Chain A
Amino acid sequence: AQKVTQAQTEISVVEKEDVTLDCVYETRDTTYYLFWYKQPPSGELVFLIRRNSFDEQNEISGRYSWNFQKSTSSFNFTITASQVVDSAVYFCALNLYTGANSKLTFGKGITLSVRP
């Protein structure tokens, strides 16, 4: 069975600080997909990124960057120069590649508060 662990539950930073959200996953499968979703106070879940298990390249998108390391089963998310609008709950999720059958296994989420 697969599992996602987000050990940090709440993080509070001051605006413009950099912050890293940790994600560790467990699976016996060799083909899988990792995701990050953001849930702002309004409640919707917003897709941020997908990474497959064969692509260990780091990715940068504006102030966001992701570090995927298969050796440590981690998929960490860094926000550079955080802003108040980044305040949200961030979920890491794992999906196995099983053709048309799939389900997302989510971590418990990390509540990020960015203070002005």
Chain B
Amino acid sequence: DSGVTQTPKHLITATGQRVTLRCSPRSGDLSVYWYQQSLDQGLQFLIQYYNGEERAKGNILERFSAQQFPDLHSELNLSSLELGDSALYFCASAGGGGANEQFFGPGTRLTVL
């Protein structure tokens, strides 16, 4: 158990809908990262937050947004969903930046029908 929690574990929804994925980092970790894992794209970095502020952005679509709250939990919002958004979404946390290993949550499997 990495200490990072993600909810829900599975999510099935329809095209055009909006969903919210939630992540609670390990106790004491200030950085939260979101990654998308799909068969064709592999593991792709989406976005990083550090102590409530956005710090790094990857290949995140404009339809996707995220935030980190004062209690350090984070939410990833996916809107106008398309079939291609079906993937495993991971949240990871770390104590700081690049020097620290990231610990991953169990992931949320999103299926868009």
Whether A associates with B in a native complex is yes
B69-98 residues with Cβ-Cβ distance < 8 A to A are 88, 90, 92, 94, 96-98
B-side interface size class: 20 to 34
Contact B104 A45 (CB under 8 A): yes
Q: How many A-B residue pairs have CB under 8 A?
A: 78
Known: A44-B106, A108-B42. A101 touches B101 (CB 8 A): no
Which 7 residue pairs are nearest across A and B when measured between Cβ atoms?
A102-B98, A45-B104, A103-B45, A106-B43, A95-B98, A100-B97, A102-B97
The contact sample of 18 A-B pairs, CB cut-off 8 A, is A43-B106, A44-B106, A47-B102, A47-B104, A50-B101, A91-B43, A96-B98, A98-B98, A100-B31, A100-B55, A101-B48, A101-B56, A102-B55, A103-B33, A104-B33, A105-B45, A106-B42, A106-B43
